[in-house]
Amino acid sequence: MDIYTLGIDVGSTASKCVILKNGAELTAKSLIDVGAGTSGPARAIAGVMEASGLRPEDIAYTLATGYGRNSIEGVADQLSELSCHAKGAYFLFPEVKTVIDIGGQDAKVLKIASGGLLNNFVMNDKCAAGTGRFLDVMARVLEVRIEDLERLSAESTNVVNISSTCTVFAESEVISQLARATDKRDIIRGIHRSVAGRVGGLAKRIGIEDQVVMTGGVAQNHGVVAAMEQEIGHKVYTSPLAQYNGALGAALFAFQRATR
């Protein structure tokens, strides 16, 4: 009989769910663009159940992770997003040694030991610079959609240096660049470089080893991924499941629990 497990990642910015079949095959996923403390987690669970065509009693084990993992009911257990990101990245990239996760409100760099276990980590959760929030704020000022940043930065011919690391000051810097009619695409490339500089600096603190994998919502922006490769001097791998990586790890741990 097939064993289905559900992983839920209640992030600061988005709620993600993954259902796995036999700890190996993606059955369904869902994402709602609001996270902890909102209706997001419940809507994401309803969404993934509907997409899977399964009934609640078909799910052998449910495990929650992420910033708001303690806030939802009806889960068998919960685990830190550090363990779940390590697990998910190792599943997608068995050669992974370094995970760079950039979410909505924090950035973490994980060192992965053999077998996919978490060895060490550093994190920035004190400051919006170098997080998805920084990009969200800048996209709003630039009047572009977050999913268009990648395409626009790829068209840039002359990167603009954003010198402020503080999000509030960097926002003022962007506004004054716009007032000077600087090309938005060059500003966006500068913004990507700023995020890569912040998080790349964090990564250098614990040491970067190949393979390097980027996870979290920001990893979908290949403009940031390219800037990161330039910053750290290593190839950076991503997956279309990057934003689901924590939920994937949770579903994998859920499978271990269901079968132990």
What's at 119, amino acid-wise? N
**Rounded Cα gap, residues 93 and 86, in angstroms:** 10
Nearer to ligand ADP, 52 or 153 (CB): 153
Within positions 99 to 158, which residues make up the interface with ligand ADP, using CB under 6 A?
103-105, 132-133, 135-136, 146-147
Does the bond joining 220 to the residue before it have cis omega, within 30 degrees of 0?
A: no
Q: Which amino acid is at 171?
A: E
Residue nearer to ligand ADP on the CB measure, 108 or 111: 108
Q: Is 217 in the site for ligand ADP (CB under 6 A)?
A: yes
What secondary structure does DSSP assign to 179-209, as a single string?
HTT--HHHHHHHHHHHHHHHHHHHHHHH---
Is residue 88 within the footprint of ligand ADP (CB under 6 A)? no
Paired tokens of 256: 């271990």
Binding region for ligand ADP (CB under 6 A) out of 7-15, 50-58, 170-178, 233-241:
7-15
Does the protein bind ligand ADP through residue 40 (CB under 6 A)? no
Q: How far is the CB of 205 from ligand ADP (least distance, A)?
A: 21
Place of tokens 């685990």: 79
Binding span for ligand ADP by CB under 6 A among 54-62, 187-195, 198-206, 216-224? 216-224
How many other β-carbons are positioned within 10 Å of the β-carbon of residue 233?
9
The reply to whether 7 sits near ligand ADP by the rule CB under 6 A is no
